[in-house]
Amino acid sequence: MDILEMIANDVVEGEMDEIADHVQEALDGGMEPKKVLDEGMLKGMNTVGDLFKEGEMFVPEVLMSAKTMDEGMEILKPLLKEGDVTKAGVVVMATVKGDLHDIGKKLVCMMLEGAGFEIHDLGVDVTPEEIRDAVKEKNPDIVGMSAMLTTTMLSMQDTVALLKQDATTQNVKIMIGGAPANPDVATEMGANYSADASAAVDLAVSLVS
């Protein structure tokens, strides 16, 4: 197994203790940081996405893979030059006001990051105004919102309405997800629906292309 395969495998298997050594070994051998990222870590993350989609990997394992990728990125980030990382797009993510559920959103953030998106995660219990202000500041391509409680769907609705009535934010693409969300609700709001994390990646790619 060559060093890039080992790095990809570290990501897939969630080998947090191994990846830093392997990334360093590749760099010490004269490999370009971009090559380590593209053909090692991102290749591993793509495999994770496929395995998750096929039901071969589950949320805890995906989270371990994402943490492993972060460990490798700690070493690579200072070495990557402007333009080395092709950004797929910019996404602002939040769990809406009144809702404290985080796992689903975190998973979507990690898988979007693996697909090359720049993520700004606002956390949980985020008000419509805070989301609007973040859109004005970050100028993202997409806003992603999560709600797990039926009661917090109203907050999601308020946020979409607020974004759409402000001239500076009305053109941002909106993705929603979570247990009470569905395609009809999304259409009614003027948003796009994704059923799970891998569908969210496909949707995000289609929204920016």
- Enter the pTM of the model: 0.80
For the segment 168-188, the average pLDDT, to the nearest whole number, is 96
Q: Find out whether 200 and 177 touch, Cβ atoms under 8 Å.
A: yes
Q: Find out whether 40 and 7 touch, Cβ atoms under 8 Å.
A: yes
Domain boundaries, the chain: 3-79, 89-208
Q: What is the third-level CATH fold of 3-79? A: 1.10.1240
The reported pLDDT for the residue numbered 110 is 84
Q: What is the third-level CATH fold of 89-208? A: Rossmann fold (3.40.50)
Q: Find out whether 209 and 147 touch, Cβ atoms under 8 Å.
A: no
Element (H, E) at 143: strand 142-146
- Which residues neighbour 46 within 8 Å (Cβ) at sequence distance 6 or greater? 114, 115
For the segment 3-15, the average pLDDT, to the nearest whole number, is 97
Answer yes or no: same fold for 3-79 and 89-208.
no
pLDDT band at 134 (very low <50, low <70, confident <90, very high): very high
